[in-house]
Amino acid sequence: MQTSFKLGLIGYPLGHSLSPKIHTAALRACGLEGDYSLFPIAPDDKQGLKDLLNRVRAKEIRGLNVTIPHKQNVIPLLDELTPTAKAVGAVNTIYLREDKLIGDNTDAPGFLSDLKKFLAESPSPFLGEGLGVRGKNALVLGAGGSARAVVHALANDGWNVTIAARRIEQARQLATFFTQHAPRDYTLSEVKGTQHKLQITNYDSLILHPSSFILLVNATPIGMTPNVNQSPWPENLSFPNAVIYDLVYNPRETKLVKDAHSQGLPATTGLGMLIEQAALAFEIWTGHNPPREILAASVDH
Ligand code: NAP
């Protein structure tokens, strides 16, 4: 009898999630039986989380994704974290291995993989020889859950990272966490005009960064539907001469990406990251590596 893969997503709210479409396409493309369900669990419903995780322990559910607001809430309920989940401090993928409930994070490798693909496809004056002039410096806007994955991925890939957050304390916490878990020797400082490997700055102080970075990553929800006319880049600042990666994927072209394109800059939304993190989770659960173009087509309308 063929194995049936029962998969799903924990979060709240889940109304607009694209994950069922992506994973259903992955199951079909790999010729597997199964389904992908939504499990909305309210932010303070700890018992609901426990009950669902027990269904993974009981092998009724093969694998779960986790999204807002539970990426950190699930950690105390798991037996082990993978090194990536530990380093990011958040879990987006859960599975059972040798009767242990494991928490992993595919957002970080999913982001990095899609970023690299995008950079390789984007002929840009800032990459190549420009990289030598301005250095591998990235600016990350936001210091929430996805910023953790992004900062971890960039740090691992040798980028110098500046985190800009409207609440400097949130950026400080994130940066402090990374200086403790960083893969290499990271020093932390607040921006004073000098170059450090990991810096934090207040959103209002972005003026301190004229053009020292070659990559801008938006890890805030600004510009997401229905607020499609908003951009995370402050209007009083000239647009950065950089490659732009916007994690927001709804709408398909955000104002930030439109503005960048209108200035001739390479820019993309986060749909590729969404596909990639899903594909990596799917492979962990099923052992099958799903074709990315079929997953992308499943959400392309
Ligand atoms: P989150 O944990 O809520 O963090 C959001 C961050 O943005 C926080 O630092 C928040 O600051 C800041 N922020 C929110 N509104 C702001 C504003 N008006 N001005 C300045 N800063 C603001 O959310 P998240 O999980 O990181 O998600 C962020 C975005 O990334 C969402 O749109 C999500 O859909 C997208 N995302 C995409 C993928 C993908 O695969 N492409 C994966 C994950 C997330 P406060 O704490 O002060 O509000």
Q: Which residue has the higher pLDDT, 135 or 265?
A: 265
Q: Is the dihedral of CA 213, 216, 222, 227 positive or negative?
A: positive
Q: Which atom of ligand 1 is nearest to the CA of 146?
A: 26
**Tokens standing for 98?**
């040798």
**Tokens standing for 58?**
């009981």
**Tokens standing for 268?**
């993309």
pLDDT at 192 over 80: no
**Is the minimum distance from the CB of 164 to ligand 1 under 6 angstroms?**
no
Identify the CATH assignment for 123-265 out of 3.40.50.620, 3.40.309.10, 3.40.50.2300, 3.40.50.720.
3.40.50.720
CA of 33 to the centre of ligand 1 (A): 34
pLDDT at 279 over 60: yes
Chain center to CA of 258: 21
- The answer to whether domain 4-105+275-298 and domain 123-265 are alike in fold is yes
Per-residue pLDDT tens over the stretch 137-183: 888 998 888 999 999 999 888 888 888 888 878 888 888 888 776 54
Query: Locate tokens 């380093």: which residue?
Result: 87
CA of 31 to the centre of ligand 1 (A): 35
**Is the minimum distance from the CB of 146 to ligand 1 under 6 angstroms?**
yes
Per-residue pLDDT tens over the stretch 74-108: 999 999 999 999 999 999 999 999 999 999 999 99
CA of 145 to the centre of ligand 1 (A): 7
H helix intervals, the chain: 19-29, 46-57, 83-88, 107-121, 129-134, 145-156, 168-181, 255-262, 271-286, 292-298
Using CA positions, which residue lies closest to atom 18 of ligand 1?
A: 222
Q: Exposure pattern of 133-143 as b/e (b: 16+ CB <10 Å)? A: eeebbbbbbbb
pLDDT at 198 over 80: no
Using CA positions, which residue lies closest to atom 44 of ligand 1?
A: 146
CA of 242 to the centre of ligand 1 (A): 21
**Is the minimum distance from the CB of 248 to ligand 1 under 6 angstroms?**
yes
Q: Which atom of ligand 1 is nearest to the CA of 220?
A: 7
For this structure, is 100 an active site residue? no
**Is the minimum distance from the CB of 57 to ligand 1 under 6 angstroms?**
no
pTM of the model: 0.92
How far apart CA 185 and CA 21 sit, in angstroms, is 41
pLDDT for res 60:
97
Per CATH, the architecture of 4-105+275-298 is what? 3-Layer(aba) Sandwich (3.40)
How far apart CA 47 and CA 287 sit, in angstroms, is 30
Catalytic residue (one of 21, 50, 59, 71): 71
**What are the sequence ranges of the domains in the chain?**
4-105+275-298, 123-265
34 contact partners, CB below 8 Å, separation of at least 6: 4, 5, 6, 7, 27, 62
Using CA positions, which residue lies closest to atom 46 of ligand 1?
A: 144
What's the chain's average pLDDT?
87
Calculate mean pLDDT across residues 179-197: 48
Contact 79, 23 (CB under 8 A): no
**Of all residues in the chain, what percent carry a pLDDT higher than 90?**
66
**Is the minimum distance from the CB of 247 to ligand 1 under 6 angstroms?**
yes
Using CA positions, which residue lies closest to atom 22 of ligand 1?
A: 220
